[in-house]
Copies of this chain bind each other. A is one copy, B any other.
Amino acid sequence: MAPSKSESAYRLLHEKITEGTFTPGYRLVLGTIAAELGCSVVPVREAIRRLEAEGLVTFERNVGAMVAAADTTLYLHTMQTLAIIEGAATALSAPFIDADQLAAARAINQAMADLLVDFDAVRFTELNNEFHQVLYRNCPNPHILELVHRGWNRLAVMRTSSFTHIPGRARESVAEHARLLDLIETRAPAAQIEQAARAHRTTTLNAYLAAANLPASPI
């Protein structure tokens, strides 16, 4: 069955926002978008409210919607939340990751390592996403997986790459991935895996915090 118009509108806007066509602050005018999509405003309105619920869009009554702003505070809060959620997601997924998946993850990480010589931030970020996708795919708790995706989307809107902003972060990242895979392969205790996965994000978070003269995240 063809998707409903509201669904189509949602997907289109979601993609344009996360891909960066619509940058933070871009105004989403119901009538304009409706005209572009060849539908009426009602489905567009619904799509925008869904995006609002996901935190990708802010909405003000009688004023309208815009792509969510991308201030530093928001970024740090999102990073901190993701650190917690991704730590848990990795620990919960780990027991279900088989040899094939491990091999796939190692291959992706190797490709990331190869990219370090002639660095390409966009490609590196893509590979990084793929890497974590493999790690989380087996998470038995769908709620947690959903929260991971929400967090990623919010980060995507902000288009702030730690790989370009923090010197040496890309190289560190590859090393941390390798350690994480070792822990998973040896079936290390869940707490240890969670700790390592969380630290993988927290390192970046704390680098930003230090740059802003703020104290490090306590957890």
Contacts and interface: CB of A to CB of B under 8 A. Distances in A.
Count of chain copies = 2
Interface in A76-113: 77-78, 80-81, 84-85, 88, 91-92, 95
A186 interface: no
Nearest to A218: B190
Contact of A84 (B50, B54, B88): B88
Interface residues of A, number: 30
A45 interface: yes
Interface in A8-50: 42, 45-46, 49-50
A4 interface: yes
Contacts of A55: 143
The 10 closest A-B pairs by CB, nearest first: A53-B53, A190-B218, A81-B143, A84-B88, A77-B141, A190-B219, A91-B219, A77-B143, A80-B141, A81-B144
